[in-house]
Homo-oligomer: A and B are copies of this chain.
Amino acid sequence: MPPGLKDVAARAGVSIKTVSNVVNGYVHVAPATRARVQAAIDALGYVPNIAARQLRSGRSGVIALAVPELQSPYFAEIAGLIVQAAERRSWTVLIDQTDGQAERERDLVEGLRRHAIDGLIFSPLALAGEELALRDGTPMVLLGERVWHGPADHVAIDNTAAAADATRHLTALGRRRIAAIGVQNRPSAVTAHQRLAGYRAALAEAGLPVDPALEIPAESFHRADGAAAMARLLDLDSRPDAVFCFNDLLALGAMRTLLSQGLSVPGDVAVIGFDDIEDGRFSTPTLSTVAPDAPRIAQLAVELLAERLGEGAAAAGAPRELRVDHRLVVRESTAG
C-alpha cells in the first residue's frame, strides 16, 4: 500500500536503482534527474522500508538498551541520555527491561531479537560472567564493572573508590558508627560488592572497626528496601550515627524511616547515597550523594558501540574498559 521505490521510479521515469541512488545520496546522479526523482518522492510521500533495507544490508539502525528497570530514576536518566546520544548517529534505541531476571537477560542475549539489532548496551544485574558470552557476533557494551573477560567493552565508574569517597566524607565529619545499606551476597552483584569494599576500606583508613551488624543487606535497591534496612538499624542496641546507602533510593527510604521516628538528619544520623538522582536534590533534607558522570557514560557507551560497528579497523580490537569520573556532592543530609 505505501509507495515503494518502484512507484517513485515509475512517476519519475527512471529506474528503480536510480531512485535508490538518489535516496542514498549517491554522487553520480545528474542534478536534473535528482530533482525529478526528489519531486516524485515528495509527491508520493515515499519513505524507505526499513525491513527491506535491513534484509538486504544486515543493518537495522536499531540498538538495544537493556536495563533492570525503567522506574528507577538512575536507569531512566541513563536511558534518556543514551537515546539522545544514539540519535546523533540516527540510531533508534530499543529499550528492554529485564527486571533483574536472569531468564529475561538470557532471552535478550540469545533470543529473537538477535537479528533485529545492530548492537546492545547492557546493564546486567542477574547474569554474571561467561553466561553472557553466548552472544554471537553482535557487539555489546556493558555498563558497570567488568564481570567477565569475554569480548565486550565496559564503561563504569570506579565504584570502590567512589564508595570510599562517600564513606570518607562521613568519617571526616567525625562520625564513628557508620552503617552501610545495600549489601548483596549474590556473586553477580558486583556493584554491591565493590561499594562494600570501598566502604570497608574507608573505615579502615580512619581506624574504625568493621562491624558486621552495621552492614545491612537489601534485596533490591528501592526506597522500601532502604526504609526497612534503616528500621533494622534502629533496632540495634547502639544505633549508627551515619549511613552510607549504596544508592539514592535506599537513602531516601532510610531518611524516611529516620524522620518518621522523630530522629534528625543529619543531627542524629547523617545519610549519604549514590547516583545523584533528581529526587535527592529536592528531598527534605536534600541528599548528599556520589554523582557519576552519567552523560559521559552514555556518550562513551554509544561511541564504543559505534567503533565496533564501524568498518574494519577498530571493530575487532581487544575489549576495552573505560573509567568515568564521579564526584562527591555534599548537601543537607550530611552538612553541618
- Which residues of A are at the interface with B, using a C-beta cutoff of 8 A? 1-2, 47-52, 54-55, 60, 69-71, 73, 76-77, 79-80, 83-84, 92-97, 110-116, 136-137, 222-224, 227, 252-253, 255-256, 259-260, 278-279, 281-284, 286
Contacts and interface: CB of A to CB of B under 8 A. Distances in A.
Contacts of A224: 282
Contact of A51 (B48, B116, B259): B116
A126 to B, nearest CB: 17
Copies of this chain, tallied across the complex: 2
B50 A112 contact: yes
Contacts of A94: 92, 94-95
Nearest to A57: B51
Given A255-B284, A284-B284, A55 B51 contact: yes
B73 A80 contact: no
A119 to B, nearest CB: 15
A227 B282 contact: yes
B60 A71 contact: no
Contacts of A256: 282-284, 286
A281 B249 CA distance: 12
Given A92-B94, A94-B92, A223-B281, A115 B49 contact: yes
A20 to B, nearest CB: 16
Given A2-B114, A49-B55, 5 more contacts: A2-B115, A47-B114, A70-B80, A256-B284, A283-B284
A246 to B, nearest CB: 16
A129 to B, nearest CB: 21
20 contacts: A2-B114, A47-B110, A47-B112, A51-B54, A51-B115, A52-B55, A69-B80, A71-B80, A73-B73, A73-B76, A83-B96, A92-B113, A94-B94, A94-B95, A223-B278, A223-B279, A224-B282, A252-B279, A256-B283, A256-B286
A60 B51 CA distance: 8
A92 B136 CA distance: 21
A282 B253 contact: yes
A251 to B, nearest CB: 10
Nearest to A116: B50
A259 B77 CA distance: 27
A2 B136 contact: yes
A287 to B, nearest CB: 12
Contacts of A84: 97
B60 A70 contact: no
Most buried by B among A2, A223, A256, A278: A278
Contacts of A92: 94, 113
A99 to B, nearest CB: 9
B284 A48 contact: no
A214 to B, nearest CB: 22
Contacts of A96: 83
Nearest to A111: B47
A137 B1 contact: yes
